[in-house]
């Protein structure tokens, strides 16, 4: 692991305080801070998001109003405002016509100085027609003829905040650019040539001096280069994390295959090709002396549980233990129920540990774990607690990754000094995001449905037909089928959410009868929630009215109907997850998307996408196009980096190039000692990946 001996001196000017820049006083510094800008480096990497064409013309005639025009004028008569808040008007003439310049709330002496009658000025601003008269209200620029060059022909527009004007911002950016040093090149020369990218310093100058709208596009060479720098730094950090994790002494875990054979021969079906392939990748990782750090990504119902269990069996065959962690107690119990019969086939002791285990019962479990009697433990984050000791932990499986950051991955690794880590996620995410979020991991994908999984018929129904839906539900229940009825989270408020579910529950109960309908929502005490779930799982209740607590993991093969009320206010990924709760048994399944008309364009696209495909990866690509990367994984807890320049939706392809490039660079130069390796260190400091590197050093 290369030692990062401190920030390179050539970057010092970029990390100085922002008010060291000329023209940036304490007030401007405070406003910039609201935009997350505290040093010259942040300003350089704050790119213009649009531009204004200020090409000079001789007259406003022929302009397509409203339009921004830049034109030389001769200043005529002033007509001061009649009232305090009225309009102050100045008539001006260009080469062919006259128009008015209008100011509000301005002092007359200031305007007379700025617009001296009889003199020539160049004015630039938005011209609109009011009652047939062309007016330029509050021009953006007013300069003497000899100062014409002060108005850029194409003016970049930056993100601003209340009180921070464009001129101040542009000035600050230009003054930050004076500090941009020439830096050694960290991009692979063949890649740079192929893409036609400029050097770093030239790229910075180009993005802040666009000549036309085309220069603002994410695929313009200068912008693409700066985006790549960001992605490259991010992927280098992940590749360093991966290299460090792999250097961490792993254990060679080789199972005999006896228990796996026992279980597979007892199953009524054969694993899919994707399951067999993923299994082989996982077992190879476990058998290698390096520590496994793998992501198992599978769509709803692709059979991740079996793959995970076979890996846990391999750990047990080798004389070790395995743990499977779930984000919630409901899910941990679900895993327990799903895995228990398989564990019985294998003749192994499987147990569960959650926050609910107390006193002597907990003590007995801990003792059995430490002795090695419990071969497979299922649990919530309670397995992180200090007093939980394994006899020989070989494999840790983490379910539903994005509630789990890199830090928790490290924590769990410490429980078994060399335990292999497998992360499972049922949220298909597009490749660019998978690389951004899990770039330090190797990835196995389950992209086939196990045989016998029925397709789910999905239909859109407007809420004014809700009576028909309830009638169909009554028939289905009479035939012995079960259904979920999901109520929306209203206004993110738990109280409202409660009443929505409660009302629906009471209405269905009054129509369909006592004891037929159950209710589950986030505000219930855990024991009640479990009891309601258990009643539904056992088939005592036929309909479960629920808020989205059932979105992940719940498995009731007899439930073949999923009704989602106000489906238009749910996200695509969430709808896909909810739909995946049905179609788990032999019966044909239906998902009804109840929506309130009229639908907005985006809501309609979400619902029709879901209706037309069951492919989670396709759905996630549409979701990314519609919502953007941060929203897709929920940036707050996703561990997804915040990029200033890179745009994961539009520049997805760059992420894959950056990953393979970063891994290749480290394979050839693990200590980053070659000239390009040293340049890469500068990049890591520039992109502030130094904290990440220290974290990796610790890990």
Mean pLDDT estimate for the chain: 85
Euclidean distance between CA atoms 580 and 552, whole angstroms:
9
Residue 394 is encoded by which pair of tokens?
């070989």
CB atoms within 10 A of CB 127: 21
63-69-74-79 Cα dihedral, nearest 10 degrees = 90
pLDDT of 693 higher than 80: no
Among residues 104, 91, 94, 103, the alpha carbon closest in space to that of 133 is found at 91
pLDDT band for position 21 (50/70/90)? very high
The more confident residue out of 58 and 451 is 58
Q: What's the CA angle centered on 530, arms 372 and 528, to 5 degrees?
A: 135
The neighbouring-strand residues paired with 322 are 376, 395
CA atoms within 13 A on the CB side of 501: 28
| Contact in structure between 554 and 527 (CB atoms under 8 Å) | no
For the ranges 256-270, 452-466, 530-544, 685-699, which has the lowest average pLDDT? Answer: 685-699
Residue 693 CA, chain-centre distance (Å), reads: 22
* SS3 (DSSP) at 79: strand
Cβ atoms of residues 484 and 563 within 8 Å: yes
CA atoms of 410 and 415, how far apart (whole Å): 9
Calpha distance 293→430 (Å, rounded): 20
Dist. CA 672–CA 4, nearest whole Å = 10
**Peptide bond before residue 66 is cis, with ω within 30 degrees of 0:** yes
Q: Does the pLDDT value for residue 124 go beyond 70?
A: yes
Residue 275, pLDDT above cutoff 90: yes
Number of H helices, E strands in the chain: 25, 21
Estimate to the nearest angstrom the gap between the alpha carbon of 207 and the chain centroid: 26
- Say if residues 236 and 4 touch (Cβ distance below 8 Å): no
Euclidean distance between CA atoms 335 and 212, whole angstroms: 57
> Is 325 within 8 Å of 336 (Cβ atoms)?
no
Burial of 171 (0-12, 13-18, 19+ CB in 10 A): middle
- Check whether 1 has a pLDDT greater than 50: no
CA dist 627 → 217, 369, 605, 620, 647 (Å): 19, 45, 12, 10, 12
> Which is nearest to 240 in space by CA: 285, 293, 289, 283?
293
Q: How many CB atoms lie within 10 A of CB 504?
A: 20
Q: pLDDT (tens digit, 9 = 90+) per residue, 635-645?
A: 333 445 678 88
Q: Are 405 and 642 in contact (CB under 8 A)?
A: no
Q: At what angle do helices 616-627 and 572-579 cross, to 10 degrees?
A: 160
Binned at pLDDT 50, 70 and 90, residue 648 comes out as confident
Pair 277, 444: CB distance under 8 Å = yes
Q: In whole angstroms, how far apart are CA 485 and each of 341, 549, 580?
A: 29, 12, 14
Q: State the angle between helix axes of 221-247 and 652-668 in degrees (0 to 180), rounded to the nearest 10.
A: 50
Cα 692 to Cα 678: distance, rounded to the nearest angstrom: 17
Question: Angle, nearest 10°, between helix axes 26-34 and 166-177?
Answer: 90
List CB contacts of 46: < 8 A, sequence separation 6 or more. Answer: 35, 37, 158, 159, 173, 644
Report the C-alpha gap between 205 and 193 in whole angstroms: 19
Q: For residue 592, what pLDDT band results from cuts at 50, 70 and 90?
A: very high
Alpha-carbon 546 to chain mean position: 26
All structural domains of the chain: 55-151 (2.40.50.140), 181-247+652-699 (no CATH), 258-446 (3.40.50.300), 456-613 (3.40.50.300)
Query: What's the Cα-to-Cα distance from 523 to each of 333, 490, 531, 575, 689, rounded to whole Å?
Result: 19, 14, 14, 22, 41
Those residues whose C-beta lies under 8 Å from the C-beta of residue 411, and which sit 6 or more positions away, are: 384
Contact 370, 389 (CB under 8 A): yes
Gap between the Cα atoms of 105 and 496, Å rounded: 47
For 610, other C-beta atoms within 10 Å of its C-beta total 23
Largest Cα span, the chain: 101
Q: 389 is written with which tokens?
A: 């000791």
pLDDT tens digits for range 59-112: 999 999 999 999 999 999 999 988 888 899 999 999 999 999 999 988 889 999
Q: What is the dihedral of CA 271, 242, 191, 8, to 10 degrees?
A: 170
Is residue 659's pLDDT more than 80? yes
* Tokens at 78, concatenated: 């002033």
The larger pLDDT score, comparing residue 242 to residue 154, is at: 154
Token couple for 348? 């192994």
Q: Which residues pair with 461 in a beta bridge?
A: 594
Give the tens place of pLDDT for each residue, 443-469: 888 877 777 677 889 999 998 999 999
Share of the chain above pLDDT 70, in %: 87
Q: Which two tokens stand for residue 651?
A: 């520049």
Give the model confidence (pLDDT) of 313-357 as tens digits. 999 999 999 999 887 787 888 888 889 999 999 999 999 998 888
Per DSSP, 56 falls in state B
Q: Which region holds residue 628: left if phi is over 0, alpha if psi is between -120 and 50, else beta?
A: left
Picking from 499, 501, 507, the residue whose alpha carbon sits closest to that of residue 466 is 507
pLDDT value of position 203: 97
The least confident of 141-155, 241-255, 285-299 is 241-255
More confident position, 374 or 302: 374
Whole-angstrom CA distances from 544 to 334, 501, 509, 559 are 17, 10, 11, 10
Cα–Cα distance between 54 and 155 in angstroms, integer? Answer: 7
Confidence of residue 511 (pLDDT cuts 50, 70, 90): confident
pTM: 0.65
Segment 614-629 shows an average pLDDT of 71
């Amino acid at each position: 692991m290369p030692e990062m001996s401190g920030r390179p001196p050539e970057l010092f000017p970029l990390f100085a305080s922002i008010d060291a820049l000329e023209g940036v006083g304490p007030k401007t510094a405070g406003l910039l801070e609201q935009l997350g800008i505290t040093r010259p480096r942040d300003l350089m990497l704050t790119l213009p998001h649009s531009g204004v064409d200020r090409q000079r013309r001789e007259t406003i005639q022929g302009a397509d109003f409203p339009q921004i025009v830049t034109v030389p004028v001769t200043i005529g008569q002033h007509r001061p405002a009649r009232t305090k808040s009225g309009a102050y008007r100045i008539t001006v003439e260009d080469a062919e016509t006259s128009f008015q310049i209008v100011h509000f709330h301005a002092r007359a002496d200031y305007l007379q100085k700025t617009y001296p009658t009889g003199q020539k000025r160049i004015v630039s601003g938005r011209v609109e027609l009011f009652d047939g008269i062309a007016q330029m209200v509050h021009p953006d620029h007013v300069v003497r003829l000899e100062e014409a060059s002060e108005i850029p022909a194409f003016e970049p527009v930056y993100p601003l905040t209340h009180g921070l004007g464009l001129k101040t911002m542009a000035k600050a950016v230009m003054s930050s650019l004076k500090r941009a040093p020439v830096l050694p090149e960290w991009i692979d020369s063949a890649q740079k040539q192929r893409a036609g990218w400029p050097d770093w310093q030239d790229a910075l100058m180009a993005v802040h001096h666009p000549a036309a709208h085309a220069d603002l596009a994410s695929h313009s060479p200068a912008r693409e280069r700066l985006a790549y720098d960001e992605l490259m730094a991010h992927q280098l950090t992940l590749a360093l994390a991966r290299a460090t994790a792999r250097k961490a002494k792993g254990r060679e875990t080789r199972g005999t295959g006896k228990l796996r054979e026992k279980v597979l021969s007892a199953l009524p079906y054969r694993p899919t090709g994707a399951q067999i392939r993923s299994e082989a990748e996982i077992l190879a990782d476990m058998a290698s002396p390096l520590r496994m750090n793998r992501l198992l990504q599978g769509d709803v119902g692709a059979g991740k549980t079996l793959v995970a269990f076979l890996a846990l069996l391999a750990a047990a065959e080798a004389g070790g233990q395995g743990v499977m962690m779930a984000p919630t107690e409901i899910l941990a119990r679900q895993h327990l129920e799903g895995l228990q019969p398989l564990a019985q086939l294998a003749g192994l002791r499987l147990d569960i540990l959650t926050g609910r285990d107390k006193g002597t019962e907990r003590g007995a479990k801990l003792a059995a774990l430490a002795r090695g009697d419990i071969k497979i433990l299922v649990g919530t984050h309670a397995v992180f607690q200090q007093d939980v000791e394994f006899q020989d932990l070989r494999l840790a499986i983490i379910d539903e990754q994005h509630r789990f950051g890199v830090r928790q991955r490290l924590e769990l690794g410490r429980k078994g000094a060399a335990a292999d880590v497998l992360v499972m996620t049922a949220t298909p995410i597009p490749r660019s995001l998978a690389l951004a979020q899990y770039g330090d991991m190797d990835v196995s994908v389950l992209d086939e449905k196990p045989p016998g999984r029925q397709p789910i018929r999905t239909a859109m129904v407007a809420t004014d037909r809700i009576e028909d839906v309830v009638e169909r539900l009554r028939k289905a229940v009479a035939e012995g089928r079960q259904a979920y009825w999901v109520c929306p989270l209203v206004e993110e408020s738990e109280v409202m959410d409660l009443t929505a579910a409660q009302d629906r529950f009471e209405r269905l109960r009054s129509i369909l009868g006592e004891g037929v309908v159950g209710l589950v929502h986030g505000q219930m005490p855990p024991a009640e929630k479990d009891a309601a779930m258990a009643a539904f799982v056992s088939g005592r209740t036929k309909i479960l009215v629920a808020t989205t607590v059932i979105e992940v993991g719940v498995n009731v093969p007899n439930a073949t109907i999923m009704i989602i009320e106000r489906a238009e206010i749910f996200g695509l990924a969430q709808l896909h997850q909810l739909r995946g709760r049905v179609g788990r048994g032999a019966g044909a399944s239906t998902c009804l998307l109840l929506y309130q008309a009229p639908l907005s364009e985006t809501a309609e696209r979400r619902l029709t996408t879901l209706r037309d495909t069951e492919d989670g990866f396709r759905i996630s690509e549409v979701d990314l196009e519609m919502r953007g990367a941060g929203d897709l994984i929920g940036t707050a807890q996703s561990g997804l980096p915040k990029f200033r320049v890179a745009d994961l939706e539009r520049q997805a392809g760059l992420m894959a190039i950056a990953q393979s490039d970063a891994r290749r660079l480290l394979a050839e130069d693990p200590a980053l000692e070659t000239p390009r390796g040293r340049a890469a260190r500068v990049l890591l400091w520039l992109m502030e990946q130094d904290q990440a590197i220290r974290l990796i050093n610790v890990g």
